[in-house]
Structure 1
Amino acid sequence: MEPTFAAALLSIALLLSNLASILLASLKLKRPARIAPPANAPPVSIVIPARGVEPFAEETLERAFSLDWPRYELIFCVAHADDPVVKPITAAMARFPAIRARLLVGDDRISGNPKLNNCVKGWEAAHYRWVILADSNVLMPSDYVQQLMAAWRHGTGLVCSTPIGSRPDSFWGEVECAFLNTLQARWQYAGEALGLGFAQGKSMLWNKPMLDANGGIRALAAEIAEDAAATKLVNGLGLRVNLVASPFEQPLGRRTLGEIWSRQARWARLRRVTFALFFAPEILIGAAPPLVLALIAAADAGVSLPATAIAVLVAAYLPECALASAKGWQLSPRTIPAMMARDLMLPAIWARGWLSGAVDWRGNVMTIQTKTVAELEETPSGA
């Protein structure tokens, strides 16, 4: 009887921790609400690394040129002049001549992280003391800068936003929404509520003099993931990473199983290498562990297995759906099947995180390991 009780108790504990994380996240998250720019709004530089033409590229570019902020500059960065994204960027620059914008080409090999390498020239060219590093597939709302600035408070070293997946055009796009929204965003905001805020590289607001005084953008090469390096740098200064109240949208379009696996496996490896103690318990998230434990307990106690499974899945997924509904995130008849597919993948993704080997980042092969800045500076540029 004791093993049965232990399995049932652990299953309930996991379901309660899942519910607690949703409640904590819901306290931090707000529905989007329009913020007007302040009267003394400082000028801002927005550095956007780009590679390849992504879905919704024209719309995301137009949004970047249409921000309701009195004075800002856009600095687009590409590694190679023949990148196909150069054409839509230059076309957007021509359509919005009133917005100060530049396109910089070049590849500064300061790390094994191609995105960070692409950002270096933009950071160094930025004119203003406030700099936002923004991924090219962020669908910026008109008050994008205001929302980032509003999260900067006393003791802040960095403000970030996790991506919220939207507009899936396939079942696997829906699965990616399930990963990004009610799983990853939820746990990130729950972590902030507990004082464990960590960076997310999708949108990062920096005070440029502060970072430059502590090694500049090159200091983010201390880890293979720039957001992990940013978290450690900011925490090391006794400052906090804050999250925006309403995270920004990333429209997804069509996704495939292979794309999701590649992306999630890469992120798992990055988390394992940079924050192993936080990564290890990830095997317990999702519906699979409490479901297996509950079924073991039910089988031993002679309780209906189908009824037990339904009860566990309702307890796991109904709060997730409620969170998505309350915050205006993607919710459709495919949401629960997508969550189930996600949770079936999670144990394999977690296991992949512990294995060595290279991963692919949009055509770039990355060998994920931790390096110090000094080691990176000694690495030949062609390595």
Structure 2
Amino acid sequence: MAPMIYTLYGFAIFFFIFWCGLWLLHLIAIVYGKWKLHNRDTLTPREVPYAGVSIIKPLVGVDPNLFVNLETFFTMNYPKYELLFCIENESDPAVMIVKKLLDKYPEVDSSLFIGGCEVGVNPKINNMQPGYACAKHEYILISDSGIRMKEDTLLDMMHHMRDDVALVHQLPFTCDRDGFAATFEKVFFGTVQARIYLAADLLRINCHTGMSALMRKQLLDDVGGLRAFGCYLAEDFFMAKSFTDRGWRICISSQPAWQNAGLCEVTSFQARLTRWAKLRVAMLPPTIILEPLSECMVIGMCASWAASLLFGWDSVVFYMIHILLWFLLDWILLSIVQNGALTFNKFDFVVAWMFRECSSPYLFLHALWDPTIRWRSRVFKLAWGGIAKELKSRIKY
């Protein structure tokens, strides 16, 4: 009987300490986010000339906001950059969109690459390879199709590229859009995602999503260029890892990445979250235990039981206070990341927040149940360590 009691107390102590650690992450994210994000001091004039940047834009298909999103890259306030648009299929309607912009802004150094180059299983790497091979500047910015830039976004990113930094990426966030799905996305990126990103940046932990990432090209070339990461689906994580393994730093810029996809649906976003969870599990197996425990509802139940066993506190009252405080801190963090008035009220936030917190454990279990990854018309399976194998080849016409 005694070993069982000791085991229960051991679990209770672990859960309570883990719970305290999550509150510390909350506070770190809020304080660091208030200092780091939307900091105009980062845009002080430089004495040295600005280095050139080659911006690679991999495109597949068209959504209603594609034209306006791409146009923001032609109007940036940066002295020297080139735009390299990469489209795998010549019949893709994105080709017409890009050609219209090339005609509209002939003064901007820009090129269109069609056809891709198969260097691995990663479709994004294959699509970008021709553009990367022709990039002429010392810095590479890989930017997803749904990203919207401000005039000074590239300036802000380059100001964070210090002598010891190899990669500057942006905190994922979303533009203001209407509808519950848009609110759901903004709540996710402005709370749980922002908390992880900000704490990881301060603690210098590799937590990188490559939707908008500025890198030193020479450091990529030293390990074989983009093609060296073609065997991974989470190429962004392994690019960052290759830098940190060589002693370089990665950091976030002060401006978030403004995702502005024209199509916004709850089911498609949940599929995206599930795919990310599958990648994390394959790359970092400890997330199988740690990630569910970091969720508000799960750790709240565990900590409530632990507090009842260790201190005799009322577990129901403890759980309700836990949820209320978590909710309030998430609202504060979201307001910091937004840096302005939110487009939805507190009731909308409550509904979206509860939906995210309650659905997240289910999505994670679904990711464990079905480890295959579906990416558009292709199906992949990940081995431990993140190396991908395609299970279903593309249909070629």
TM-score, normalisation: structure 1: 0.87
CA distance in 2, matches of 1:372, 1:353: 15
Match of 1:341 among 346, 352, 355: 355
Stretch of structure 1 that moved more, 271-280 or 237-246: 271-280
Rounded to whole Å, the distance in 2 between the matches of 1:132 and 1:314 is 40
Equivalent residues in 2 for 1:296-335, closer than 5 Å: 296=305, 303=314, 305=316, 307-328=317-338, 330=342, 332=344, 333=346, 334-335=348-349
* Residue type at the aligned position of 1:99: V
Residues 208/294 of structure 1: CA separation in 2 closer, same or farther (3 Å cut): closer
Secondary structure at the aligned position of 1:339 is classed as helix
User: Which of 181-190 and 284-293 deviates more?
Assistant: 284-293
From the superposition, tell whether residues 24 and 93 of structure 1 become closer, same or farther in structure 2 (CA, over 3 Å): same
Correspondent of 2:121 among 112, 127, 130: 112
Query: Is the Cα–Cα contact under 8 Å of residues 109 and 117 in structure 1 kept in the other structure?
Result: yes
Deviation at 1:95, TM superposition (A): 1.3
CA RMSD of aligned residues (A): 3.1
Equivalent residue for 2:272, pick from 263, 273, 276: 263
Classify the secondary structure of the residue corresponding to 1:80: coil
Could you say what secondary structure the match of 2:230 adopts?
helix
Cα deviation for residue 324 of structure 1 reads 1.5
Going from structure 1 to structure 2, the CA distance change for 1:31 and 1:302 (only over 3 Å counts) comes to: closer
Using the alignment, how far apart are the partners of 2:107 and 2:258 within structure 1? 25
1:365 aligned partner:
379
Paired residue type of 2:156: Q
Specify whether residues 3 and 55 from structure 1 end up closer, same or farther in structure 2 by C-alpha distance, changes over 3 A only: farther
Report the Cα offset of residue 236 of structure 1. Answer: 2.0
1:40 is displaced (CA, Å) by 0.8
Report deviation, 1:100. Answer: 1.2
Counterpart selection for 1:140 from 145, 149, 174: 149
Q: 1:53 aligns with which of 57, 62, 83?
A: 62
| Counterpart position of 1:292 | 301
Unaligned runs of 5+ in 1: none
4-13 or 134-143: which moved more?
Answer: 4-13
Q: Does 1:80 align with 2:97?
A: no
Q: Which residue identity lines up with residue 18 of structure 1 in the other structure?
A: L
CA contact 1:48–1:134 (8 Å) conserved in 2: yes
Question: Alignment length, in residue pairs?
Answer: 378
Give the Å deviation of 1:153.
Answer: 1.7
- Confirm or deny that 1:203 pairs with 2:212: yes
The residue aligned with 2:224 is: 215
In structure 2, do the counterparts of structure 1 residues 339 and 15 end up closer, same or farther at CA, with 3 Å as the change threshold? farther
How far 1:11 sits from its partner (Å)? 6.5
Q: 2:255 aligns with which of 246, 251, 256?
A: 246
Q: How far apart, CA to CA, are the structure 2 residues paired with 1:291 and 1:244?
A: 32
- Matching residue's letter, 2:354: M
Percent identical across equivalent pairs? 25
1:31 aligns with 2:38: yes
Q: What is the CA distance between 1:275 and its match in structure 2?
A: 2.0
Structure 1 residues 357 and 294: alpha-carbon distance in aligned structure 2, compared to 1, 3 A threshold: closer
Give the structure-2-normalised TM-score.
0.84
Larger deviation, residues 7-16 vs 361-370: 7-16
Contact 2:190 2:337 in 1 (8 A): no
**Residue matched to 1:273:** 282
